[in-house]
Structure formats: structure tokens, C-alpha cells
Amino acid sequence: MLYRMGEGRPRVLYFTHGHPNLIRGGAEQAALELYAGVREHGAFEPFLAARTGDLALQRPGTPFGAVDGDDPNQLVFYAHLRGDENFFQTMRNKRFYTYHLAQLLKAIQPDVVHFQHTVHFGVEAIRQVRVTLPHVPIVYTLHEYIPICHAQGQMVRTKTFELCDHASPQRCHGCFPERAPSDFLLREHTIKRQFQDVDKFVAPSRFLLERFVAWGIPREKLVEIDYGREPQEPVPPRPVRADGKRNRFGFFGQMNPFKGIRELLLAANLLRDAGRMDIHLDVSGANLDLQTEDFQHAMHELMEAAPPTVGFLGPYAPEDLSERIASVDWVIIPSIWWENSPLVIQEAFMHERPVICSNLGGMAEKVTDGLNGLHFRARDPSSLAETLTRAADTDGLWEELRQGIPKIPTATEAAETHAVLYGELRDARSGAERVATLA
Amino acid sequence: MSAKGYAWRVWCRLPPTQRRLVFRLLAMGSSLKVAPGTPSQRLSFVLSLLARENILADGGHQAVRRLTTQLAQSTSARRVIEVGSIPAQPHVSIVIPIYGKLDLLGPQIALLADDEEIRNAEIILVLDSPELEGEFVSLVHDLHALYGLALRALVLNQNAGYGIANNVAASHATGSLLLLLNSDVFPESAGWLGQMTAAYRARAKVGALAPKLLYEDRALQHAGMYFEHEPGRGWSNQHFFKGFPSTFASANVSREVPAVTGACLLIDRDLFVRAGGFDPVYAIGEYEDSDLCLRLSSMGYPSWYLAEVALFHLERRSFAPHRSRQRAGATRHNSWLHNNRWKAEMERLMELHAQKESGALATPTPSPAGDLPTPVETAP
């Protein structure tokens, strides 16, 4: 591999665990939007290396390949963690790091490396950056709680679906009885070891930041920066008659057990039982086919039994969102896990739709009850049904909450915040080097 | 059918008197082809017999003794690789035996690496599972590339067991002190090795020194070892306060103890050599650490427990489950031998320990400066 000549603007290299062109996901989308924002902003030249698990994209002798499209600064790399590798978040064969990743780093010669995730390729990638580029600041954005929690980073107990507020070897073993408690200690300590090489962690929500402080990341290593989004022209409010009610609600997101779709459909049944056939629900749900068979089966039963007031519109592409959101007044986020900074909240707010959400974690932080949305008791279909009724029946509430909707940071603003952060980290590192030289 | 399977069938048909004869022949190194193959294969066969038949006194022990001696004599490092520049004249040589699986090596090196004292030490990895050589060698190179730690890695020519693997590695060591470290022990922070070596050097006469070891829930795995005698069962090895919270007061006193674990054991290298290292007769591995401690104490070098240093020990994670019949045979043999060999020394040490503990209870703890002296109750 040729080494890149050092010239031009400082470079920032993003590592992400997936590319939205190949697979949909909130964190992947956020990473790509930051990349685009930084390119637009201009202070740094961004590169994006996105992981793919599609073996067909791997060629002999190299894990690297192109993203569809001709952006010279984007590539994909094949990596996959199996079994123990996934558990300990590192590859058994270290050559991926010591050879291939090292080649990539030498070829791009970034001035800042920003991990948007390490899941699926492993935390030892951080170490390789520190080895190949000893003086380059490393930034790491935390999108959920995977370093703390092996249960897909959800911090929901696997057996009871109980919310979990901290990890410990014994508790985690309870969630995964086939794993020895000592495995969890080893997992925690080896991940924390790799995290020592990170200069700054970015937390998109205060809630997530505090969780990682409680877990043991020093507070001064964390900074709260919410996702920045490509600004959207707000779609106009749904036209209603003068006496008409704001009674159409939308669900946007994955149909997995953590997103609360089951609780939402149970609430719809309660509303039907109460005779409220005037409260409408549009469900734009994705990825049901990827869920366990049990869950799919339960969902299909619920969907068949759902009242006619519920419409199932199927998955949507990002560009279809404005059309989907145009026909609802409110957006519902009924997740039964903590969440971080759900992109759907930002999308609802960009289109000036108040949000009804669980009174939990990142959701409760981003949506203020009574100011720009309403909270209901998480996991409680009757509390949700009551809240929907109140939202639909209270005159002037929708208009009032709409006034309270905050401005969402734009991709350019987020790029500016990150550029300032990168600059500070570079200064701090070169300052430390000067001190080291003088000493 | 394998030779071993055939031999087993023949064995089962033998009446007890002939079985004893077989053992005597084995013990004499007879050419009888009951247990053909390498010393290691023959040892496996004998151990699986011992699991079923209690014939230790009838030639069983003699057979194990002879075969383990052959095993020790025929074991050497068939390959030595060095990555990075290994410190010349290191204070400490760290010996880490690896058996059965490699999956703890990456985490252990990652967690050891950020420590000046570890970087100044000589680290010797010894692979006791030669079949893993290829993966082991490339992992050693990769781990050096990632963490910059200089490593000397030995690949044994045959699977020889814990004691022999340590002895071979110790013969490659150059440090004045030897730290024997299991592959499932790892530190929480830097500085522990320096504390251990300082404590070792501070004592005039010390044999083996070991720190506090913790389970994953921070309960005590090791706070010193003692010997317990139960009627009808003989002597057994026990750990003080095993499973108690690490903050338990009595476990937080550094002191002389009857023995210490071999999981993280610091010893003067010359003393280790003078004592003869681990006795290979403890087949597969078990009891060789207390055997060493007992030998040292009988030479006048007591064991020391260091409460100020704590590491994690994910006990029984360091080796893949051994085929159970052989292990059962080895356990039976090793505990029998340990009991017979060290009965008197264990008794002596436990009496000494009891005296010291009762003495310690009677001695008033020194009151902190500035406090009023605590009244001492005197016996009438």
C-alpha cells in the first residue's frame, strides 16, 4: 500500500461499524452525517472506514473494498467477530489489527482518529491506532451501552426484561448463565484497558454520559455532544378541520422487543376497548424479519388482532420520512430500554411534531414533559393509552407543545463542535509532547 | 482399536494380583508393552488406571515417579523465539505457562503491559501444548506489535504438565527473582510487581511470597495457604478465608503463612534452583506449589503472604478441562504423595501457626501515636 503524502488540511479518519448504503441503523446514519458535515465544514478533510460483515465483499489478501459510489475518501472493510470474539470485543487473529489496520492508518496518515464504534471489529483497533500513530488524538463516540452490557448494550436483563442500572460479573452471569462470572470481569477489564488509549469520549446524551462515568470512565474524558442532523424543511402541520382533533400518532423505528412496539399495540387495544375509534396510529416499522421467531410470531398475532385504527405502513427510507410524518400530529417513542439520543426524536422535532415517550433515560432527557412532549410510564400500556387520550382530547395542548420544540443541532454545527474538539485535542497532545521534549 | 483401548481391555481382565505385577513391571521400566508410546502417553495410561484402582502403594506411585522422571528428562524447549529487546540483567523473570488454550494470553498481556516494572522484567511464556505452536507464535508476534512488551516464548517438545513447564522456563530465566504467574492472573493497576519484590527483599529469610488474589466478585481467592487435618481424610490444602470479602480484616495482614499458592509466586531464583524447582512427580499439576513451599520451609525459608498487593485470579480458567479420568488419577496420586511426604512438616507448621495466631491475639495492638494507651488486661 502506498503511503499518502502529507499535505493539505488536517485529516480525520472515522471508523464506523456499518455503512448506511449497506445496512440501516441509527448510529451508522449519524456517523455518515457527521462525515458529510465535516466535509462541508472544511476545517478537516474526513475519511470514512466502515465495517461490513458481508464475506462476499472480501477479496483475497485484503479486507478493504469500496462503498458503492465514487467518493475517494470512503471505504469499507470486512470484519466479523464470532462467539468469544464478540463477547470480548476483540479478534482472535490479531493480524487484522497489526497488519491491515496499520496499513490503512499509514496510508491515510490521519491527524485525528474518531471511532464511531468498535463493535464487530473490536476494541483492539484503538490500540493499533495508538501504536501506529502515537501522537494522534483518538475520539470515541458512544452510541449505546455495549462496552458495559453484553446484551446488545441495552442494559435490560435478558431473562426478566427488567431494566438494569449497573453491570457486575454476578449480574451479567445471571443474564447469560452459560458464561462464567469471571468472563464478565475479563470483558470489562480488557475493554477498559483499550479505552485508556482514547483521548475523548463523545456522549450524545447526558444520561449516557453519566452511565459511563458510573462505569468508570473518568468524567474529564467525556464530553456531551448531541448528534447533528442535515436540516429538513419542516413539513406543514396535518390539515385538520377547525374543530378537528390532533389525534393521529406515528411510530417510526425498528420492530424489535426493545422499541416498545408491543406495548404500543396493547395500548391501541385498550383504546379500542374504551371505544376510542377516533385515535389513529401509523406504524412505520422495520426489521421485524430479523427478530426471533417467538417475537415475530407474537407480533404477527398482535398485528392481526389490532383495531382498524392502526395502520401498518412498513419500513421507510430516510427520504420517505417527511411524507410519512406529514400525516401525523405526534410521534410516539415507547422504548422499554434506556435509549441514548434517539434520532427519531430529532426527526420529529425537525418537523415540529411533539413527542410522546417513555419516562426513561435518554428519551426523558431529550423530550421535556409538558414543554415539547409528554411522558408516560415506561412499559405501561394503560399509561400510554391515557397519555394518547389526553394528547388527542386536550384543546390547545398540541399547539402549546409545538411552541416548546427546541432547535436540533445541524450537521454543520455538530461538525464545527467536533472541529473545535479535534483542534483542542491536537493542541493538548502537541503541548504534552513539547513538555516531554523539554523535560 | 487404539493401543490404549486394547491395553485397557487386557487390563480389565486381569485379576488384582496380576495388576499389581503389571505395576511393578511398569515401575521397573519393563519392556512389557502394556503401555506403549511416549512417557507422556504411558503416564496418561497409568493415571487413568489409578483413577479406578487404589494401588498407589502397590507400585502405582513407583510407576508415576518413574514415568514423570522420564517425562521431565525428555522435556525441553524445542523452539525459543524472542520478540522485542528483552532487558539485560532483569531483576525479575516472569514465567507464564500456557496449556490447552490461548484465549487468556491476549487479555493478560494487554493488562500487564502498561507498567514500567513489567517492561523492565523478563517475560517468559512457555507453551505446554505443542500442538498450538503455530497460533501461539503468531499471537506472540501480534501481541508484541500491539503492546510493545518484549517476550521470550518457549514451545515445549511435548505436553509435560505444570511443574515441568515451569522448571524448563525457569532454566531459561536470568532474573535474580522468579515470578511464577498463572495465565489467569491479572492486575488491576500498575506497580504491583515492585511492591512484591520490595517486600521480598525486605525480609531476611523468605522462601515463597504470594499476594492477595481475588475472584471476579472481589471475594478472596488466596490470602495464604494452610493445612488441615481431618480424621479419616488426612491432610488437605486450604486457603485462608477463601470466598470472604477482600476487605475482611484478618486477610489484610501480611504475615508468615504455612504455604502460598503457585498462581502468583515470587521466589529467589537461586533458591528455587537449590530447592530443585517443582517436583515433576506431581503429575499434570496440583500440589506442586505447596510441595515446594514445604520443602523451602523445611530448609528454613518460610512462606510469606503479602496483603498489600491484590490481583485477580480467575481460578481454574487457565487450563482447558483435562480428560477427567487422568485428572482424577493424578489427584488421587498427588494428594496421597503430598500427605505421606509432608505429614510431619505440615504438623510442625500448623502448630507453629497456631502458636503465632494465639500469640498475636494475646499481644495488644500498638495504639496509634497520640492516643491514650489501651489498658491491657492481665491474667490473674
Sheet containing strand A112-115, edge to edge, reads: A64-66, A74-78, A45-52, A11-16, A112-115, A138-141, A200-203, A222-224
CATH number of the domain enclosing A284: 3.40.50.2000
Cβ separation of B142 and A95 shorter than 8 Å?
Answer: yes
Q: Do A196 and A70 belong together in one domain?
A: yes
Q: Do A283 and A168 belong together in one domain?
A: no
| ipTM score assigned to the predicted complex | 0.77
> Is residue A22, in this structure, part of any structural domain at all?
yes
> Is residue A129, in this structure, part of any structural domain at all?
yes
Q: Work out how many domains chain A is built from and give that number.
A: 2
Q: Do A127 and A259 belong together in one domain?
A: no
Asked if A171 has any chain B CB less than 8 Å from its own CB, the reply is no
Cβ separation of B142 and A98 shorter than 8 Å?
Answer: yes
More confidently predicted of A114 and B370: A114
Q: Do A257 and A392 belong together in one domain?
A: yes
Per-residue pLDDT reduced to its tens digit, B181-216: 999 999 999 999 999 999 999 999 999 999 999 988
Percent of chain B with pLDDT over 70: 86
Cβ separation of A131 and B317 shorter than 8 Å?
Answer: no
Q: Which of B216, B218, B221, B311 to mutate to test the interface with A (most CBs of A within 10 A)?
A: B216
> Is residue A1, in this structure, part of any structural domain at all?
no
Instruction: Measure CB to CB from residue B143 to each of A84, A94, A169 and give the nearest one.
Output: A94
Full residue range of the structural domain in which residue A43 is found:
11-229+410-438
Check if the beta carbon of residue A90 is closer than 8 Å to that of residue A191: no
Between the CA of residue B295 and those of A156, A282, B92, B167, B300, what are the distances in Å? 53, 79, 22, 16, 9
Q: Do A28 and A151 belong together in one domain?
A: yes
Instruction: Measure CB to CB from residue A131 to each of B106, B139, B145 and give the nearest one.
Output: B145
> Is residue A234, in this structure, part of any structural domain at all?
no
C-alpha angle B334-B339-B344 in degrees, rounded to nearest 5:
145
Per-residue pLDDT reduced to its tens digit, A130-144: 999 999 999 999 999
Of A148, A126, A119, A149, residue with least CA distance to A50: A119
Quote the minimal CA–CA distance from B136 to chain A in Å: 10
Confidence of residue B281 (pLDDT cuts 50, 70, 90): very high
Asked if B276 has any chain A CB less than 8 Å from its own CB, the reply is no
Check residue B31 and report its DSSP letter. -
Task: Name residue A252's beta-bridge partners.
Answer: A284
> Is residue A5, in this structure, part of any structural domain at all?
no
What is the rounded distance in angstroms from the CA atom of residue A44 to the CA atom of residue A418?
10
Per-residue pLDDT reduced to its tens digit, B48-81: 888 888 888 878 899 899 999 999 999 999 999 9
Asked if A88 has any chain B CB less than 8 Å from its own CB, the reply is yes
pLDDT higher than threshold 80 for residue B15: no
Low-confidence ranges of chain A (pLDDT < 50): 1-3, 5-6
Q: Do A258 and A174 belong together in one domain?
A: no
Q: Do A65 and A197 belong together in one domain?
A: yes
List chain B residues with CB under 8 Å of A124: 106, 110, 146
What is the rounded distance in angstroms from the CA atom of residue B195 to the CA atom of residue A177?
37
Q: Do A387 and A421 belong together in one domain?
A: no
Instruction: Measure CB to CB from residue A182 to each of B111, B138, B216 and give the nearest one.
Output: B216
Per-residue pLDDT reduced to its tens digit, B118-177: 999 999 999 999 999 999 999 999 999 999 999 999 999 999 999 999 999 999 999 999
Q: Do A79 and A130 belong together in one domain?
A: yes
CB pairs under 8 A between A and B: 68
**Which residue bears the cell 422499541?**
A259
Cβ separation of A189 and B103 shorter than 8 Å?
Answer: no
Query: Tell me, what's the pLDDT at B369?
Result: 38
Cβ separation of A180 and B110 shorter than 8 Å?
Answer: no
Q: Do A191 and A68 belong together in one domain?
A: yes
pTM: 0.84
> Is residue A20, in this structure, part of any structural domain at all?
yes
Asked if B316 has any chain A CB less than 8 Å from its own CB, the reply is no
Q: Do A425 and A390 belong together in one domain?
A: no
Q: Which amino acid is at A376?
A: F
> Is residue A343, in this structure, part of any structural domain at all?
yes
pLDDT higher than threshold 70 for residue B1: no
> Is residue A353, in this structure, part of any structural domain at all?
yes
Asked if A94 has any chain B CB less than 8 Å from its own CB, the reply is yes
Of A344, A325, A326, residue with least CA distance to A334: A344
Cβ separation of A193 and B110 shorter than 8 Å?
Answer: yes
Mean pLDDT of all residues in chain B? 87
Q: Which amino acid is at B250?
A: S
Query: Tell me, what's the pLDDT at B45?
Result: 84
Q: Do A181 and A39 belong together in one domain?
A: yes
Quote the minimal CA–CA distance from A101 to chain B in Å: 12
